[in-house]
Structure 1
Amino acid sequence: MSPSLPASSPAEKLTLAMVATGLLALLLALADADPGRQQTWLYLALGLVSIGTLTWSWLRFGRHPAGVQQNNLWQRASTGRGSVAWVTGLVLTGFYVVLYWYSSDDGQGNFGPLNNLVHGLDSFSRWLRARPADQWFLYGTFYTLAILLMGTRALWKYRHSRYQLIRTGSVMFFQLGFAFIIPALLQFFQQPEFYFSYFWPLKYDYLFPGTAAALVHNGGLGVFMVFWGAVMSLLATPVLTYFYGKRWYCSWVCGCGGLAETAGDPYRQLADKSRAAWRWEVRIIYPVLGLIVAITAVLWVNFALNSSLLGEVGSGAAKWYGFAIGAVFSGVIGVGFYPILGPRVWCRFGCPMAAYLGLLQKHFSRFRISTNGGQCISCGNCSNVCEMGIDVKQYAQRGEPIIRASCVGCGMCSTACPRGVVNLENGPREGRYQASPLIHADSLRILS
Structure 2
Amino acid sequence: MSVTASPSLALAQPAGPAPVPLEKAALTAVALGLLALLAAAFDADPARARLSMYAALALVSGGTLAWSWQVFGRGPAGVRQHGLWQRASTARGAIAWVTGLVLTGFYVVLYWFPGLLENLIRTLDPFSQALRHKAADQWFLYGTFYTLAVLLMGGRALWKYRHSPYQRIRTASVMFFQLGFAFLLPGLLLAFQQPEYYFSYFWPLKYDYLFPGTVSSLVQNGGLGVFMVFWGGLMSLVATPVLTYFFGKRWYCSWVCGCGGLAETAGDPYRHLSDKSRLAWKWEVRIIYTVLVVIVLLTVLLWVGASGAVPALEATTQPLSKAYGFAIGAVFSGVIGVGFYPLMGSRVWCRFGCPMAAYLGLLQKHFSRFRITTNGAQCISCGNCSNVCEMGIDVKQYAQRGEPIIRASCVGCGMCSTACPRGVLNLENGPREGRYQGSQLIHADSLRILS
TM-score by length of 1: 0.96
Query: 1:265-299: per-residue Cα shift (whole Å, max 9, x none)?
Result: 00000000000000000010001000000000000
Structure 1 residue 307 displacement after superposition = 6.3
Matched, 1:22 2:33: yes
**Cα separation, partners in 2 of 1:157 and 1:439, compared to 1, 3 Å:** farther
Query: 1:159-196: per-residue Cα shift (whole Å, max 9, x none)?
Result: 00000000000000000000000000000000000000
**Cα separation, partners in 2 of 1:328 and 1:53, compared to 1, 3 Å:** same
**Cα separation, partners in 2 of 1:194 and 1:4, compared to 1, 3 Å:** closer
Find the partner of 2:280 among 277, 281, 291: 277
Matched, 1:196 2:199: yes
2:58 match: 47
1:107 match: none
Structure 1 residue 305 displacement after superposition = 1.3
Query: 1:27-86: per-residue Cα shift (whole Å, max 9, x none)?
Result: 110111100001000011001000000111101001000000011101011111111111
2:126 match: 123
Structure 1 residue 309 displacement after superposition = 3.6
2:378 match: 375
Partner Cα distance (2:20, 2:221) in 1:
57
For 1:57, the aligned partner's letter is: S
**Cα separation, partners in 2 of 1:76 and 1:442, compared to 1, 3 Å:** farther
Structure 1 residue 311 displacement after superposition = 3.1
1:106 match: none
Matched, 1:252 2:279: no
| 8 Å CA contact 1:374, 1:443 repeated in 2 | no
| 8 Å CA contact 1:376, 1:397 repeated in 2 | yes
| 8 Å CA contact 2:389, 2:395 repeated in 1 | yes
| 8 Å CA contact 1:89, 1:338 repeated in 2 | yes
| 8 Å CA contact 2:375, 2:440 repeated in 1 | no
| 8 Å CA contact 1:399, 1:439 repeated in 2 | no
Q: Which runs of 5+ in 2 are unaligned?
A: 1-10
Find the partner of 2:430 among 414, 427, 432: 427
2:185 match: 182
Query: 1:311-363: per-residue Cα shift (whole Å, max 9, x none)?
Result: 32111100000000000000000000000000000000000000000000000
| 8 Å CA contact 2:304, 2:313 repeated in 1 | no
2:8 match: none
SS in structure 2 of the partner of residue 423 of structure 1: strand
Aligned residue pairs, count:
437
Partner Cα distance (1:442, 1:396) in 2:
19
For 1:181, the aligned partner's letter is: L
| 8 Å CA contact 2:306, 2:314 repeated in 1 | no
Partner Cα distance (1:443, 1:323) in 2:
56
The within-5 A match list for 1:7-406 is 7-103=18-114, 112-305=115-308, 308-406=311-409
Partner Cα distance (1:188, 1:268) in 2:
38
After the TM superposition, which parts of structure 1 deviate over 6 Å for at least 4 consecutive aligned residues? 442-445
1:108 match: none
Partner Cα distance (2:71, 2:441) in 1:
39
Structure 1 residue 435 displacement after superposition = 1.4
Structure 1 residue 443 displacement after superposition = 12
For 2:133, the aligned partner's letter is: A
Partner Cα distance (2:270, 2:94) in 1:
14
Q: Which runs of 5+ in 1 are unaligned?
A: 104-111
SS in structure 2 of the partner of residue 369 of structure 1: strand
Partner Cα distance (1:189, 1:350) in 2:
35
| 8 Å CA contact 2:402, 2:440 repeated in 1 | no
Structure 1 residue 440 displacement after superposition = 3.5
| 8 Å CA contact 1:373, 1:443 repeated in 2 | no
Partner Cα distance (2:85, 2:270) in 1:
10
Structure 1 residue 437 displacement after superposition = 5.7
Partner Cα distance (2:243, 2:17) in 1:
44
For 1:355, the aligned partner's letter is: A
**Cα separation, partners in 2 of 1:220 and 1:398, compared to 1, 3 Å:** same
Structure 1 residue 310 displacement after superposition = 1.2
Partner Cα distance (2:271, 2:440) in 1:
33
Partner Cα distance (1:345, 1:22) in 2:
28
2:6 match: none
**Cα separation, partners in 2 of 1:316 and 1:161, compared to 1, 3 Å:** same
TM-score by length of 2: 0.95
| 8 Å CA contact 2:254, 2:260 repeated in 1 | yes
SS in structure 2 of the partner of residue 424 of structure 1: strand
Q: CA RMSD in A?
A: 1.5
| 8 Å CA contact 2:336, 2:349 repeated in 1 | yes
